[in-house]
Homo-oligomer: A and B are copies of this chain.
Amino acid sequence: MSITLRDISKALNISVSTVSRALTDSHEIGEETKQKVLAYAKEHHYVPNRMARSLKVGKTRSIGVVICSIDNNFVAQMLDGIDQICTENGYQIIIMQSKESYEQEQACINLLHASGVDGIMISPSYQTTDFSHLKELQSQGFPVVLFDRISEKMTAHKIAANNLSGAYQATTHLISNGYTRIAHLNSNATLTTTAERFEGYKKALEDHGINYQEELVAFCDTAQQIDQSVADAMEQLLKQQPQAIFTATDLLSTKVLAYLMEHKFTVPKDIALIGFSNSDLAAVLNPSLSTVRQPSRQIGELAAQTLISLIKGKDIGPEETILLDTELQIRKSSGS
């Protein structure tokens, strides 16, 4: 371990409190002693003990981040944004994975809270339908921010992409490429995220005079057995002979592309494809994948910013939902 305040105080024959004041740059301290302390501290590589300070002040300057999985391009990008803001503001992040399990998510939240994090930001698992645990924390004045996947079941500061307009744009793009039989593959989660992408799809059809057909839509179990679920859904959808598919999540997009390739479909000739995806490899996929790209880093940054403001007790107004615009990236998979 490092040296402590007392080590310094003994070595310099001054009191612990004086040393503390010197190091915290207090105004009630003599310039001379201050320099003496600072010099000694630097020479002996003094680093304040975070544990002790945290215990004393009741804050840890750490933030809990709960996500479904770290091994996910899009999530990693958000984490990068979160990390940058937190580092800039002197906060440490503790990342925990729910692995799309509600139980594990609860465990994460409990552990984080017990660890004394100053606040929690969470992108709920697809399984999560009950937010009472989070609500309870929140009602005790504990700062909570929802990001990416948000829900209407909870009142809180929420940051996410504008899923409705993103889905609308993607569907409209397919329509303007001449497709009318457009299938839609989505998650079966009960999150706002899911619902809004579905809404965007329907709205685009409606606005362009295309009848919505239930048979052209499938909802996959994205929490478990995703491969099997996608295969089942695709088999179902393909019976309806769609001309194009709009997939609603990163994972679904690439899995569908892989499925189509495996089953010898030529994209976009046999069937066109556009999907939500943030993979940097979309451009080098086979064929290059047209995507709705979410502002992942900004979502992370803004969410972190918001949580830190909350922690610092700044008045940032009532809980509100901030939606960031997506970006339509047209490549080959969606036809000409």
Contact with B along A50-74 (1 / 0, CB 8 A): 1110110010100000000111110
Specify which chain B residues have a CB less than 8 angstroms from the CB of A2 in the assembled complex: 113-114
Specify which chain B residues have a CB less than 8 angstroms from the CB of A286 in the assembled complex: 284-288
By the criterion CB–CB under 8 Å, are B79 and A48 in contact?
no
By the criterion CB–CB under 8 Å, are B281 and A116 in contact?
no
A79–B54 Cα gap in the complex (Å)? Answer: 27
Residue A29 at the chain B interface, CB threshold 8 Å: no
A51–B111 Cα gap in the complex (Å)? Answer: 13
A111 vs chain B, min Cβ distance (A): 7
Q: How many copies does the complex hold?
A: 2
Q: Which of A281-311 contact B (CB under 8 A)?
A: 281, 283-288
Residue A279 at the chain B interface, CB threshold 8 Å: yes
Chain B residue at smallest Cβ distance from A78: B71
A258 vs chain B, min Cβ distance (A): 5
A52–B70 Cα gap in the complex (Å)? Answer: 29
By the criterion CB–CB under 8 Å, are B58 and A69 in contact?
no
A80–B77 Cα gap in the complex (Å)? Answer: 15
A114–B51 Cα gap in the complex (Å)? Answer: 9
Q: Which of A105-152 contact B (CB under 8 A)?
A: 110-111, 113-116
Residue A11 at the chain B interface, CB threshold 8 Å: no
Specify which chain B residues have a CB less than 8 angstroms from the CB of A54 in the assembled complex: 51
Residue A76 at the chain B interface, CB threshold 8 Å: yes
Provided the pairs A94-B94, A115-B50 are in contact, do residues A79 and B73 lie with their beta carbons within 8 angstroms?
no
A317 vs chain B, min Cβ distance (A): 26
Beyond A76-B76, A286-B286, 10 additional pairs, beta carbon < 8 A? A70-B80, A71-B76, A71-B80, A83-B97, A92-B94, A92-B111, A254-B280, A258-B284, A284-B286, A285-B285
Residue A261 at the chain B interface, CB threshold 8 Å: yes
User: Which of B51, B58, B97 is within 8 Å of A116, CB to CB?
Assistant: B51
A132 vs chain B, min Cβ distance (A): 13
Contact with B along A88-103 (1 / 0, CB 8 A): 0000111101000000
Q: Which of A264-290 contact B (CB under 8 A)?
A: 279-281, 283-288
Residue A49 at the chain B interface, CB threshold 8 Å: yes
Chain B residue at smallest Cβ distance from A79: B70
Specify which chain B residues have a CB less than 8 angstroms from the CB of A288 in the assembled complex: 286
Provided the pairs A51-B54, A281-B285 are in contact, do residues A69 and B60 lie with their beta carbons within 8 angstroms?
no
By the criterion CB–CB under 8 Å, are B71 and A77 in contact?
yes
